[in-house]
Chain A
């Protein structure tokens, strides 16, 4: 229990002081995760919409694959990306191992299936509602997809946030491909793992509390943004 109380005090002290090392770690966490989620959305939104309204051979298989890969263990993804980017792997020339870019790649692989699967669900539901109307209007497949995606934008933000949560909290993949190198690839989660292994449990938990607070802040501000766009839409 002492550890728990100590952690809250330590977390508060960490936030108040916000020393350069912590700021650097928090910033890198945000940069890596934000970039990964943006790329995952650019891939996942169209893929999800395609799965929802597309009619092509292999759609069912692709759909099952997308849903199944939502549960990929981060360590497996980390290993896969490590083997790809390693100097003895096929993409050695890129020199990306142990860089933030490698961490982004791993997280894109983790997050894209989540964004795509949730998008497919949302668009499919919406398509049931709009199908007749869009057909009467003679909308092309592309127009249908873009219209549905645009109309579903509020729900898509939830899909993006789910992806953000997965990436922001993930440690197994970024540990392997980033290497948890101080000042280069150390992020919130790998720092927590490191402090835990040093037995500095109070500091580790304090970092966890900081992580949670940032996550709450981001979710709250996006929710606020979402409800304000909804208000204007209805006005």
Chain B
């Protein structure tokens, strides 16, 4: 009887193991786009018009690039221009297209010890934080946001990694997890605006610095190179990219959180 039950359970489990008959593509992407609800908002429109299901794996840009280089995805949608160009130069991807942008902001405790209101550049703001030794939560995970943060630090001629473990704290986690930590330890953090606006655990944290052109945050989409990865779904992947660059642009623009637009399409 026992054996019969076991067998029945195993048999019952088989149908869902052999699913996936419909056409689908895998998109390697970033946590910022997923956490802000963008994909939930726009993907159903594409699937409805094309019949192609889009399966998003949302990880840090570094991991997304690695996964895509391992051929574990058809499309790459991330925000680290140089790393994406290197990805293509290495033969892993075809052409990169601009999709949308927003910007990075520095968030911190509302009545924090550092007044960033009078600083005009991101570099100055970071320098002020460093000088005051106020905790700063860094992604520390080789993500697009982390790469941007490192680029900003290098423009300050300060190297915070010397201070790692003191006021400079590398979380090694995704954007949301890092924001939770920043809120928890009254630390400053660099975040993309979309994740911040959609973030629900802000408590007393507010945007402390914004507006420097250096904080521009461009998202790009790339089809994985079929010459490198023979199983890439070229047609479905290209159809998705084409949609993102045309009809999808309106869908992206219409995605808001509390009335604020999160991403600004700029493919055209």
A binding-site residues for B, Cβ under 8 Å: 28, 31, 34-35, 38, 42, 86-89, 92, 97-101, 104, 153, 179-182, 184, 194, 196-201
**A199/B16 in contact, CB under 8 A:** no
Can you sample 21 A-B contacts with CB below 8 Å?
A: A34-B9, A35-B13, A35-B17, A38-B9, A38-B10, A38-B13, A42-B6, A87-B71, A87-B231, A88-B70, A88-B72, A97-B72, A100-B17, A181-B57, A197-B174, A197-B175, A197-B176, A197-B177, A197-B180, A199-B179, A201-B180
**Is B45 positioned at the interface, with any CB of A under 8 Å from its CB?**
no
> B94 within 8 Å of A by Cβ?
no
Most buried by A among B31, B201, B229, B231: B201
Q: A87-B231, A197-B174, A201-B201 are in contact. Are A182 and B40 (CB under 8 A)?
A: yes
A198 touches B71 (CB 8 A): no
Residue of A nearest to B173 (CB): A197
B72 / chain A contacts, CB cutoff of 8 Å: 86-88, 97-98
- Among candidates B6, B40, B70, B176, residue contacting A86 with C-beta atoms closer than 8 Å: B70
Residues of A within 8 A of B19 (CB): 99
- For the complex formed, measure the closest distance between the CB of A94 and the CB atoms of chain B, giving whole angstroms: 11
**Complex interface residues of chain B between 1 and 59 (CB less than 8 A to chain A):** 2, 6, 9-10, 13, 16-17, 19-20, 26, 31, 34-35, 39-40, 55-58
In the complex, what residues of A have CB within 8 A of residue B57's CB?
98, 179-181
Interface residue B200 (Cβ < 8 Å from any Cβ of A): yes
For residue B198, CB closer than 8 A to chain A, the reply is yes
Given contacts A88-B70, A88-B71, A98-B57, contact A198 B176 (CB under 8 A): yes
- Which residue of the partner chain, among A31, A87, A101, A199, contacts B180 with CB atoms under 8 Å? A199
Q: Is the CB of A179 within 8 A of B55?
A: yes
If the complex has contacts A31-B13, A98-B72, are A199 and B58 also in contact, measured as CB distance less than 8 A?
Answer: no
Residues from chain A with Cβ under 8 Å of B199 in the complex: 198-199
Task: Decide yes or no whether B254 CB sits under 8 A from chain A.
Answer: no
Chain B residues lying within 8 Å of A198, measured Cβ to Cβ, are: 35, 176, 198-200
Q: Is B127 in the interface zone, CB < 8 Å from A?
A: no
For the complex formed, measure the closest distance between the CB of A214 and the CB atoms of chain B, giving whole angstroms. Answer: 17
In angstroms, Cα B229 to Cα A12, docked, is: 47
Q: CA of A42 to CA of B202 in the docked complex: distance in angstroms?
A: 48
- B175, closest chain A residue (CB): A197
CB pair A98 B55 closer than 8 Å = yes
In the complex the two chains form, what is the Cα distance from A101 to B16 in whole Å? 9
Known A87-B229, A197-B176; contact A182-B56, beta-carbon cutoff 8 A = yes
Residues from chain A with a CB closer than 8 A to the CB of B179 are: 199
Do B70 and A87 touch (CB < 8 A)? yes
